[in-house]
Amino acid sequence: MTPERPSFAGEVIVTRRAAGAFGIVLAGRDAQGGALGMALSGVAAPALAERLHDVSIEGPLAHDPTLRIVCREGVFAVPGARLHVHRDLSGRMRAVIPPRPVPLRKRAFWRIVLALAGSATGRAVLLRLRQR
């Protein structure tokens, strides 16, 4: 059983390159709004528009090694390609690893600097301190 492939929701930017490492690179957002990228390697890019909509990838099947790019604009066959999926996991990481608390001295320092920067006199003091 093959794992579920993520699909794009909305507009997808297509980058085409020569056959080789990454012949086709798709970049956009998934249904949850997270950044999603897919790269098809080892292929020459078929004639794709620079922007596609609601893209999903189908295949390969046991009897047919062709991947298909399915979107509103049509179905594009990509024979002999390998698919690489890249997701933005920063949101999940932030949920698992809590942020480190900022030390009190650092908070006090930046509060003072920003308060000084808010007035003309304070900016003059900061510029004098910087020139030393």
User: pLDDT for 60-118, tens place per residue?
Assistant: 877 777 888 999 999 988 887 788 899 888 888 888 998 889 999 999 999 999 999 99
pLDDT at 53 over 60: yes
pLDDT class of 1 with cuts at 50, 70, 90: very low
pLDDT class of 52 with cuts at 50, 70, 90: very high
Per-domain boundaries in the chain: 11-92, 100-131
**What local confidence, expressed as pLDDT, does residue 40 receive?**
86
> Cα torsion for 58, 65, 50, 21, to the nearest 10°?
130
Q: Strand ranges (DSSP E) for 42-106?
A: 51-53, 56-58, 67-71, 74-78, 82-87
pLDDT at 45 over 70: no
pTM equals 0.64
Among 19-28, 30-39, 53-62, 82-91, the least confident range: 19-28
pLDDT class of 27 with cuts at 50, 70, 90: very high
**What local confidence, expressed as pLDDT, does residue 91 receive?**
81
Residue 16's contacts (CB-CB under 8 Å, 6 or more residues apart) are 23, 24, 45, 48
